[in-house]
Amino acid sequence: MSWPVNSELIKKTSARQVKVSADHAGQRLDNFLARHLKGVPKAAVYRMVRTGQVRINGGRCKPDHKLQTGDEVRIPPVRTQDAGPVTVSAAVIDQIRKATLHEDANYLIINKPSGMAVHSGSNLPWGLVDAVRQGRPGEFIELAHRIDRETSGCVVLARNGPALKHLSAQFRDGGVGKKYLCLMDGRLKEARVAVDAPLLKTRLEQEHLVEIDEEGKEAVTEFRLLQAWRDCSYVEAELLTGRTHQIRVHAAHLEMPLAGDDRYSSPAARKKWKARGLNRLFLHAHQLGFESVDGGTINCHAPLPEALRDVLDHLEA
């Protein structure tokens, strides 16, 4: 699904120093920059960090650097979209409100629809986090993690600084339970298959891709078979690490790319699944579990979207 956006004017900003408040302590630098550089493509933001234009307390840094209270972040001059506050339609805000799976004083968990980015960038003036902020004016709302635009399911947003810091640490240390439902193009040979293969981000023209490479970061996925058909497998995938496109690349590594994957499957495979009624990536973040900052445990489930269920219902044995 394509989401409506508002055209915006472009202006050139000046370099500025932004001091990190206590509420944003523990936040990743790239997420911090996303809020301060509305409308700037994510690739451009990463390039600024990589080339040293973004600095923390005068020093070079990496996108995943965790900010601390009082840090001075240099944000370089950049062309940004400027038409006042981001405007998201009332219909979308209401849709997200109805998709709220969990709400307490510290966290919101939203069942994000496929096709909606979690934040702005790459010609997208708004994302899920912007819509939530507009629907809750004046509140502290920050993303605690990300899922791909094409992926649906559980996304957690923090409602205060300590909650963000506490959950970010769990994501970093592998303390969050993350399970996805996916349809793999092929028959899984065993009931459980673990893939332990490091992943490295690459770039092909204007598109970011991920590939298996010994120089990459550790990545472990466990696939558990739920149901098999003649030429495909309905699977629960558990992330034991949290790398970009991890499930998609590990599935392709097994020579069973995810149905509807427009990056890691062949044109013929995509055509086949489109003919079967699949018009999106078959990947859904259906279960998320973590420890709350108040000491309790949060376990959340997002049901499989109807469009994906319909695809399963029409598969032939």
198 and 285 assigned to the same domain: yes
On the CB side of 131, CA atoms within 13 Å amount to 28
299 and 188 assigned to the same domain: yes
Residue that is last in its domain, among 58, 81, 104: 81
On the CB side of 139, CA atoms within 13 Å amount to 19
Q: Give, as one character, the DSSP assignment of residue 39.
A: T
Residue that is last in its domain, among 26, 54, 81: 81
Q: Distance from first CA to last CA of the chain, Å, rounded?
A: 29
Residue 287 has pLDDT above 50, yes or no: yes
H-assigned helices in the chain: 29-36, 42-50, 90-98, 128-135, 161-173, 246-253, 267-275, 306-313
User: How far is Cα 297 from Cα 5, in angstroms, rounded to an integer?
Assistant: 37
Q: Return the structure tokens found at 33.
A: 């920059």
| Matching residue, tokens 């915006």 | 8
Question: How many residues make up the chain in this entry?
Answer: 317
47 and 148 assigned to the same domain: no
Q: Give, as one character, the DSSP assignment of residue 301.
A: E
Mean pLDDT of 90-105: 95
The answer to whether 63 and 28 have CB atoms below 8 angstroms apart is yes
Counted domains in the chain: 3
- What domain range includes position 194? 177-313
Query: Does residue 10 or residue 236 have the better pLDDT?
Result: 236
Mean pLDDT of 275-290: 97
Q: What is the pTM of this model?
A: 0.80
Domain CATH code at residue 207: 3.30.2350.10
Residues designated as active site: 148
Residue that is last in its domain, among 123, 151, 173: 173
Q: Return the structure tokens found at 78.
A: 């950049």
pLDDT digits (tens, 9 = 90+) for 170-182: 998 899 999 999 9
286 and 302 assigned to the same domain: yes
